[in-house]
Amino acid sequence: MGPTTHGIGTTETTGREVELVRQFIDAFNARDVDGVRAVVTDDVQFRNRRGKSFVGPDGVRDVVRAAADARLTLLRDGEPRTDDHGARVYLPVRVQLGRDEMHETAVFDVRDGRIAGFEAIPGD
């Protein structure tokens, strides 16, 4: 099995998955709600550490607004990997939150060529 992320076997991602994740991050950082909606499913779930989920088009708007208010930016900090089934993409990121910076792993659930779920988990 290949490298692991949080105990999960991972493999290299395909070009399509890499492009999808890039488009999501670019739109998210640009605060482009329509751009984020273009790459996510209609029932996308954004999960936070407190166990709350933001779902669907309203969730996209709320998450993008909250990121803008918090001055939160996602910066790629490594190469993306996927689980053995290709349904989940893991990307090391630096999360800039105002003047603070954290190393985390962005987790993207992929379904039917779109992002169906997103969360950031603490880095190793």
Whether residue 79 is predicted with pLDDT greater than 70 in this model: the reply is yes
In angstroms, rounded to a whole number, what is the distance separating the alpha carbons of residues 106 and 65? 19
Who contacts 63 (Cβ-Cβ below 8 Å, separation ≥6)? 46, 54
Q: What is the pTM of this model?
A: 0.84
Who contacts 7 (Cβ-Cβ below 8 Å, separation ≥6)? none
What pLDDT band is residue 6 in, cutting at 50, 70 and 90? very low
Q: Of 58, 41, 5, 65, nearest to 118 (Cα)?
A: 41
Tokens in use for 93? 């990121």
Whether residue 76 is predicted with pLDDT greater than 80 in this model: the reply is yes
Q: What is the mean pLDDT of residues 46-58?
A: 90
CB 75 within 8 A of CB 86: no
Who contacts 46 (Cβ-Cβ below 8 Å, separation ≥6)? 53, 54, 55, 59, 60, 63, 117, 118, 119
Whether residue 2 is predicted with pLDDT greater than 80 in this model: the reply is no
pLDDT, residue 87, reads 84
- The chain-wide mean pLDDT, for the chain, equals 86
CB 31 within 8 A of CB 40: no
State pLDDT tens for residues 13-43: 567 888 899 999 999 999 999 999 999 999 9
